[in-house]
Structures are given as C-alpha cells and as structure tokens.
A = this chain, B = another copy of it.
Amino acid sequence: MRLNQLTYGFVGLGLMGGSLAKAITKYVLAEENSTGKIYAMDKNPSSLEDAILEKTIERGFSENETKEMLSLCDVVFVCLYPKATGEFLAKYQDDFKSGAIVTDIAGVKGQLMENLNWKRSDVTFVPGHPMAGNEREGFTHASAEIFQKRNYIFMEPVVSGASSLEFGKNALETLKQLATSIGFGRIIETNAEIHDHKIAFTSQLCHVIASALVDSAEDTNVTAFGGGSFEDLTRIAMINAPLWTELFIADKKELVNHISEFQASLETIKAAIENEDSEKLNGYLSNVRSRRIAMANPK
C-alpha cells in the first residue's frame, strides 16, 4: 500500500508526535487521491481538539479507547517518554492490527530493547529516533517543518520468528520512505548499542554542558555582554527537565564516559592557558578548527 493510503496512529501528540502528524498530513496525505488518515490519543484532550480543528488528525481517542485505535492503524508512532514507551509496548503488544508497523521516538534504546519481549510475528516494531525538536513543548509548538534535512536513526526491525525477516525489512523500507517524504535528509541504520553510544555524545553530553554553563553563570544578566556565543551554546538549556532526567539516567554509562573524556579535554586546554603555553594552545586550537571543519561534512 502506498503511504497516502495508510492509517496512522499517534500515541502521544506532544511536540514530536504533533510535528510528525502535521508533517505527514502536509507532505503525504495532502496528495491527490490520498485515502490515508491520522488517529491520535493524548492525555491532554485539548491537544486532540486542536489537532482535529486544524485537520491534522481525523479523530481523537481517549486512553480507554486505546485498543480500538490500535486495531485500526497500519502504522503506529508511540511518541511518549522512554519509560512510558516501554510500558505502553508491554501493555498493548497484543492489540496492534495484524500487519501493522510500530515505531517509537525514545532517545535511548538499550533499556527499551532489553525489556522488550516481542512475541508478534505479524507486527514489526522498528525502534526509531528522529533527531529533531526544539526547546518548546506540547502540540501547540508542533510544526511540520522541524524535520527538514535532519537525521532519522532506525534500529534493526524486531519481529518474532525467522520467517518474518522479509516482513520486517519491508516495514523498515516503508518508514524510511515516510521519513524521506516528510523532509528528513539522512537515514541512519544502526543498532541500539551504537545509537546509545553516539547519542550520548552528540545529544546528551551537549545538553549536560549547556546546562552546566548556565548553572555556572554568576547572574542572569550575562547576555548583556554577549556576542551570541553564549546564547548559541545554551539555547538547548531551556530543557524539558523530566524528559532529560530520564534520558540522562537511561544512558548513564555511555554519558558518564563521554563527560569524563570532555573533562580531560577541558583540563588540557585549561592547563595550557594557566601555563601561558602559547605554542601548545595554538596547536590545540588549530587541530580543533580542522576537526570541526571536517565535521561539517560527515561521511
């Protein structure tokens, strides 16, 4: 079936779920001859009302109607916090429609995969991580445009039984097509272990550093003396505290290692400054410049 003929279900219609739903509405279901539709459930009834009024979703479902919604959906996006994602998949595993594709957006995958006890051979779970977002929260701030040129990471499809391998591959292909359709620029396929290792650096460590930098400011008036650097480094410190508390702890081992490596790099440059070692400092900064320029165009 084509992407514009599928029924999509969103479990959680916050910033990420809402943005994905809006992007699918705009870039997939607005096509001519489209017969697809979007359903959604959210603990906040007003998000569902808003989404219906602006024609992002066709119908909202209450928590009591979860099974009904799942029985109707070809593709289900579970857009909850990491722990809640695992709980949802455990509770409703038997209720997905036969043939359905289920995916999630949790920012840490190791814990989720360890506890996932997937028994369905007719439903594929494809762990996913759309690398986008902003410092705001909730459906009100959702936007169809936040995925443009971003990275979407998929883990290997999970489906029970060796005979279902081809089925799992097809599910992944469908999600990759969908991701490209809504603007993602790059699809990365990896496993949970590599994902959690890499994300601990590019995402979690950055949030830790930005937060520590804001914490260390002597007052909140510092930006009067700024040239934009401080603002750029700390924009992500307008952080969703409960979500990131979960993410940091879920990826604790990898994250703590990355923090330690960063601390060592910081100590090296600090020592060069303290010793007024111009030569060493100049070498360190020249090397950093070359590395950062290389990073602007990843392979």
Contacts and interface: CB of A to CB of B under 8 A. Distances in A.
A151 B276 CA distance: 29
Given A227-B133, A241-B289, A288-B214, A273 B255 contact: yes
Interface string A276-299: 101001101111110111111011
B286 A241 contact: yes
Interface in A189-222: 195, 198-199, 201-203, 205-218, 220-222
A131 interface: yes
B131 A227 contact: yes
Query: Looking at A210, A223, A246, which has the most chain B CB atoms within 10 Å of its CB?
Result: A223
Protomer copies: 2
Interface in A243-299: 244-246, 248-249, 252, 255-256, 258-259, 261-266, 268-270, 273-274, 276, 278, 281-282, 284-289, 291-296, 298-299
A220 B257 CA distance: 18
Nearest to A208: B269
Interface of A: 131-133, 150-151, 153, 186, 188, 195, 198-199, 201-203, 205-218, 220-242, 244-246, 248-249, 252, 255-256, 258-259, 261-266, 268-270, 273-274, 276, 278, 281-282, 284-289, 291-296, 298-299
